[in-house]
């Protein structure tokens, strides 16, 4: 069996564990008596820890090798997921979600770089992550028991660790000079900024979306089903993007994101939301795979670039829930959706100069 397939399997397990834990965190916070603002703080702590950990681990992995970070990150993440069982009040929930974010950051950036250097099809690699999100959301829909989901996350991540023990070591790349974090950031800053703006809006939406859907009369099963549709579409679409220009699919992802966030305000029936969540899956597939390929192909510092990319997403995970909580508190859930649409427009314009640098963007 090809170890490249096993890399995808580990990505699946890690994504399953992450989604299985995160999907009902807002509802758990509400059950513990947290306000919308405090729920936003929980997400912000998680994202901040994830950000700092992935940025450092990705940069460091270019020097000492990716596999050590993959293995230790998976082991630490499994323990962190189990620690969520101790969250019996909002302060402990904030603490353990911070530990989860820090542990995941150790593994994820290094996993991306390790997969790319192993000549893995990054679209298919990413699709396994989406498949993990599907099964995680599906587990949420079927189980609807937060404590059991935490146990499933623990076992899935631990299995990923044992599989990673079979991965071959790859000699760290020799650099003429140490990887320069600032130089890598400046080289692709327009792409990072564009992704940041769009994903900032998305993470603001994700933290309140279960509550928004519940306010529309949907139960936990329907919420989990809508999550599964989104990630199911991602799994299918990501596997079909290999033959397309990464710049084109990145642009299409931005355009579709604007439409989807606005549509969520006006189309609130279950059948409408099924279609909208499917389109959201297409939008994120194009944006994520396109941006990831752009930054990984921009230079030799794969771990550093992957770390910055992951940190960009995690910065959104830190700020987005915080902003989502504030906006929802003052302007309601629909205000958050308009906010996300506006940021998607800004992100699209932020990437225009980078797109113009590639003549084939309009071909």
CATH for 260: 1.20.1250.20
pLDDT in tens, 60-77: 887 777 899 999 999 999
pLDDT in tens, 69-122: 999 999 999 999 999 999 888 999 999 999 999 999 999 988 988 888 888 888
**DSSP SS3 for 54:** helix
Q: Which domain holds residue 337?
A: 3-164+187-357
Q: Is the confidence at residue 178, as pLDDT, over 70?
A: no
Question: Could you give the residue ranges of the DSSP H alpha helices within the chain?
Answer: 3-22, 25-31, 36-64, 67-83, 90-117, 122-143, 146-164, 181-187, 189-215, 220-238, 246-266, 270-296, 302-350, 352-356
- Rounded to an integer, the average pLDDT of 321-345 is 90
pLDDT in tens, 152-172: 999 999 999 999 999 988 766
The verdict on residue 171 lying in a domain is: no
The verdict on residue 345 lying in a domain is: yes
pLDDT value of position 360: 43
Q: Is the confidence at residue 361, as pLDDT, over 60?
A: no
**DSSP SS3 for 218:** coil
Per-residue pLDDT band at 362 (split at 50, 70, 90):
very low
- Rounded to an integer, the average pLDDT of 12-37 is 86
pLDDT in tens, 271-312: 899 999 999 999 999 999 999 888 888 766 777 888 888 888
Number of domains into which the chain is organized: 1
Tokens representing 30 are: 């509400």
Q: Is the confidence at residue 246, as pLDDT, over 80?
A: yes
Among 333, 190, 173, 181, residue whose Cα is nearest residue 264:
333
Among 60, 73, 81, 158, residue whose Cα is nearest residue 107:
73
Q: Is the confidence at residue 5, as pLDDT, over 90?
A: no
Task: Find all residues with CB under 8 Å of 55, minimum gap 6, and list them.
Answer: 105, 109, 181, 307, 308, 310, 311, 314
DSSP structure class, residue 66: S
Q: Is the confidence at residue 30, as pLDDT, over 90?
A: no
pLDDT value of position 131: 87
Cβ distance 70 to 107 under 8 Å?
yes
Per-residue pLDDT band at 232 (split at 50, 70, 90):
confident
Q: Is the confidence at residue 17, as pLDDT, over 70?
A: yes
The verdict on residue 176 lying in a domain is: no
pLDDT value of position 226: 86
Higher pLDDT, 13 or 221: 13
Q: Is the confidence at residue 259, as pLDDT, over 70?
A: yes
The verdict on residue 169 lying in a domain is: no
Q: Is the confidence at residue 199, as pLDDT, over 90?
A: yes
The verdict on residue 179 lying in a domain is: no
pLDDT value of position 2: 67
Query: Rg for the chain (alpha carbons), in Å?
Result: 19
DSSP 149-198: HHHHHHHHHHHHHHHHTTSPP-PPPP-SS---HHHHHHHTHHHHHHHHHH
The verdict on residue 316 lying in a domain is: yes
**Whole-angstrom Cα distance, residue 95 to residue 97?**
6
- Rounded to an integer, the average pLDDT of 245-267 is 91
The verdict on residue 38 lying in a domain is: yes
Q: Which of 166-175, 182-191, 215-224, 243-252 has the lowest mean pLDDT?
A: 166-175
Q: Which of 51-60, 79-88, 146-155 has the lowest mean pLDDT?
A: 51-60
- Rounded to an integer, the average pLDDT of 321-328 is 86
The verdict on residue 88 lying in a domain is: yes
**Whole-angstrom Cα distance, residue 317 to residue 110?**
19
Cβ distance 289 to 246 under 8 Å?
yes
Q: Is the confidence at residue 359, as pLDDT, over 50?
A: no
pTM: 0.79
């Amino acid at each position: 069996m090809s170890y490249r397939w096993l890399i995808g399997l580990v990505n699946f397990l890690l994504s399953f564990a992450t989604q299985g834990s995160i999907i009902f965190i807002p509802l758990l916070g509400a059950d513990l008596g947290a306000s919308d603002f405090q729920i936003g703080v929980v997400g912000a702590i998680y994202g901040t820890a994830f950000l700092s950990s992935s940025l450092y681990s990705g940069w460091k992995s270019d020097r000492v090798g990716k596999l050590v970070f993959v293995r230790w990150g998976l082991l630490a993440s499994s323990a962190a997921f189990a620690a969520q069982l101790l969250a019996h009040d909002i302060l402990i929930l904030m603490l353990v979600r911070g530990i989860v974010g820090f542990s995941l950051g150790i593994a994820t950036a290094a996993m991306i770089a390790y997969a790319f250097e192993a000549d893995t099809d990054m679209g298919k690699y990413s699709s396994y992550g989406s498949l993990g999100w599907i099964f995680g959301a599906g587990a949420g829909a079927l189980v609807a028991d937060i404590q059991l989901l935490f146990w499933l996350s623990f076992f899935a991540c631990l299995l990923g660790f044992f599989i990673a023990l079979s991965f071959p070591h790859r000699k760290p790349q020799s650099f003429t000079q140490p990887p320069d974090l600032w130089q890598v950031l400046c080289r692709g800053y327009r792409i990072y900024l564009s992704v940041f703006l769009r994903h900032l809006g998305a993470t603001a939406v994700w933290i309140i979306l279960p509550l928004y859907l519940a306010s529309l009369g949907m139960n936990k099963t329907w919420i989990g089903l809508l999550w599964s549709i989104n990630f199911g579409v991602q799994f299918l679409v990501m596997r079909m993007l290999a033959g397309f220009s990464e710049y084109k699919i990145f642009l299409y992802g931005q355009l579709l994101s604007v439409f989807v966030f606005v549509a969520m305000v006006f189309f609130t029936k279950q059948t409408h939301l099924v279609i909208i969540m499917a389109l959201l899956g297409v939008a994120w597939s194009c944006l994520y795979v396109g941006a990831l390929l752009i930054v990984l192909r921009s230079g030799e510092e794969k771990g550093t670039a992957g770390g910055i990319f992951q940190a960009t997403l995690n910065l959104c995970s830190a700020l987005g829930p915080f902003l989502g909580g504030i906006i929802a508190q003052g302007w309601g859930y629909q205000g958050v959706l308009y906010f996300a649409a506006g940021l998607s427009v800004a992100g699209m314009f932020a990437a225009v100069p980078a797109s113009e640098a590639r003549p084939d963007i309009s071909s």
